[in-house]
Amino acid sequence: MSNAEAGPVFPDRIESERLVIRSWESDDAPLLHAAVTASVDHLRPWMPWIAFEPQTVEERRALIEQWCNDAADGKDRVYGVFLAETGKAVGGTGLHNRVGPGGIEIGYWIHVDHCGHGYATELSQVLTNTAFGVDGIERVEIHTDKANELSARVPQRLGYTLTEEVEQPIVAPGEVGINQTWILRRGNWTQRRDGG
Ligand SMILES: CC(C)(COP(=O)(O)OP(=O)(O)OC[C@H]1O[C@@H](n2cnc3c(N)ncnc32)[C@H](O)[C@@H]1OP(=O)(O)O)[C@@H](O)C(=O)NCCC(=O)NCCS
C-alpha cells in the first residue's frame, strides 16, 4: 500500500479497543469546534495552531476540506479521534510525511475532559501498527518538546527510543525549544508484537 510519488497511503478509518480514528468529514465541523474550543487553554502550551484561535465552525469546515484534499493527494493524514461507544470527539491525531524517506510521524492531542484514560497511548499504538502495515515504512517517529513530559510518556510506554535531542525554534508557549525524537523501528515493533 504505497504511492511512490505522493507517499504512503493510509486507511481512512482505523479502530482500536475503545476508539475510532477516522478522517474528519465536513459534517464533523461542530464536533471539532466543540473539542478544540473546550481545550484551548490545555492545548495552548504545546500546539502551535492554537495561535489561530478562536475560529468559527465554518473555518473549521474549510480546514477539514483542506485535510481531505491533502489526504487525496497522498500528503499528511489528519484524523479525528472518536469514542467507539458514543461517537464523541475526544481528540485529533495524524500521520505526517515530514520525517524523510521510510518514516512517518504521529502527532496527537486529546480533549481536556478526556485526558488520563490512556487514549493518546491507545491511538498511538494502533497508528503505529497501521503505519507498519504499509510497505516502505521502516520507522515511526513521535516528536515532543523536552518540557512536554506528559506527551513523552506516550512513546516511552510504547517502546519507542529517544534517539535525538536538538534545539529548535520555540513555536508554542510551553516549549523550551528542545525537540526530542522518539523512534520505533520495524524490527523492534515486530519483536514487541511477537512478545520478544
Ligand atoms: C499529552 C496528551 C496527548 C496525553 O493524552 P492522554 O490521553 O491523557 O495520555 P495517555 O494515553 O498517556 O494517558 C495518560 C494517563 O492515563 C493513564 N491511563 C488511564 N487509563 C488508561 C488505560 N485504560 N490505558 C492506558 N493508560 C491509561 C495512563 O497510564 C497515563 O498515566 P501516567 O502518565 O501517569 O502513566 C494530552 O495531555 C494532550 O492533549 N496534551 C496537549 C497536547 C499535546 O501536548 N500534544 C502532544 C504534542 S507532542
State which of 110, 114, 122, 179 you would mutate to test the pocket of ligand 1, scoring each by most atoms of that ligand within 8 A of its C-beta: 110
Cβ(126) to ligand 1 under 6 A? Answer: no
Q: Rounded CA gap, 143 and 43, in Å?
A: 16
Phi/psi class of residue 100: alpha, beta or left (left: φ > 0; alpha: ψ in -120 to 50)? left
CA distances (Å), 41 to each of 44, 157, 171, in order? 5, 26, 16
C-alpha grid cell for residue 77?
Answer: 493524514
- What pLDDT score does 4 carry? 44
Residue closest to 93 by CA, chosen among 140, 157, 58: 140
Nearest residue (by CA) to ligand 1, atom 26, is 118
Are 26 and 65 in contact by the 8 Å Cβ rule? The answer is: yes
- What pLDDT score does 57 carry? 98
Nearest residue (by CA) to ligand 1, atom 2, is 151
How many whole angstroms from 119 Cα to the centroid of ligand 1? 6
Q: Which ligand 1 atom minimizes the distance to the CA of 91? A: 39
How many whole angstroms from 109 Cα to the centroid of ligand 1? 9
Residue closest to 10 by CA, chosen among 93, 110, 112: 93
- What pLDDT score does 7 carry? 74
Q: Which ligand 1 atom minimizes the distance to the CA of 124? A: 11
Averaged over successive runs of 10 residues, the pLDDT of the chain (196 residues) comes to 65 98 98 98 98 98 97 94 98 97 98 98 98 97 98 98 98 98 98 90
Nearest residue (by CA) to ligand 1, atom 16, is 116
CA gyration radius, the chain: 16
Q: Which domains does the chain have, with CATH numbers?
A: 2-137 (3.40.630.30)
Cβ(144) to ligand 1 under 6 A? Answer: yes
